[in-house]
Structure 1
């Protein structure tokens, strides 16, 4: 009895975390202290904006001036987190094992500065893993058990990091 109660509590905790992650608004921060001296958004440009539609995160492009000959790497990682249970087959179809699993899809590219010291950052897009794709590859600890996804959360991390710097100049999470 004690073991099954612990499993149920773990399942509820995982569901709470997934729900809380799904309700979090995107957080954006630009820190040109992590960029070449003089870096700034070009006139008419601003911090990228990331939006989530279904499983796809799309972030707008931008332009950064004053970067000299410094290149940057832009990365967008979309994480799909699945919570669920494994059922023991039979008349009662008992829940025997809760699970929480995450899969991350990442796109990354190096952006080369132009001869005028401008970095033109194109829009970025990445798609998370669907429940059907997750279940196609997931197996419960016992191959006779059947998995059931009871919750899904999508989160993302967009970053732009200049060559020679360890921290991103732009970081957006959601």
Structure 2
């Protein structure tokens, strides 16, 4: 049985999609060793929870509050990466795959945070929108302008981090 390159790439994309959706649970870590001495979640607050809207390619993480940070500032970052794969087609015959491609596009949103009175850091909700397939196709060109691009997969991942000034590692890290 002979498989065309297009079928092989389509099967590969389907396997990547299955793998990505099978690992949908985010890995969250809070390590207050990477924060000022005495830092802790405020009463009623806890580790942020991130959700993904696959229609809009938007990741949204909930707010939280951390007490015991003194006057130490922090940086909150949410980076969304889309790994986009596809092929370019020769216009003479749309079944002829000319050039496969794979690109990563990352959108990053960072905010500096300053504690309020009594060493309480209010961490706001954070959202970042990645790159949709339609947005990618509007800007991507194949090596030959006569070829037509076709996206076969668009896999989203994200990283949320809260890092205190003077610390090398984040106190909160969520990978999804």
TM over 0.5: yes
Instruction: State the Cα deviation string for residues 114-171 of structure 1 (Å, max 9, x = none).
Output: 1200100000011111111101110112211110011111111000000000100000
Secondary structure of the residue aligned to 1:154 is strand
Aligned length: 171
Contact 1:34 1:165 in 2 (8 A): yes
Q: Deviations over 1:11-39 (max 9, x none)?
A: 75566445423432111000001000100
1:140 equivalenced with 2:142 (yes/no):
yes
What are structure 1's unaligned runs of at least 5 residues? Answer: none
Correspondence for 1:23: 22
Structure-2 residue corresponding to 1:163: 165
TM-score (norm 1): 0.89
Query: CA distance change for structure 1 residues 135 and 92 in 2, over 3 Å: closer, same or farther?
Result: closer
Matched, 1:51 2:51: yes
Q: Does 1:38 align with 2:43?
A: no
Residue 7 of structure 1 contacts residue 98 of structure 1 at CA under 8 Å; is this kept in 2?
no
| Structure 1: distance between partners of 2:39 and 2:97 | 56
Q: Report the alpha carbon displacement of residue 88 of structure 1 after superposing the two structures with TM.
A: 0.9
SS in 2 for 1:155: strand
Deviation for aligned residue 1:8: 7.5
TM-score by length of 2: 0.88
**Cα distance, 1:88–1:66 mapped onto 2, change above 3 Å:** same
Q: Report the CA distance shift for 1:92/1:162 in structure 2 as closer, same or farther (over 3 A).
A: closer
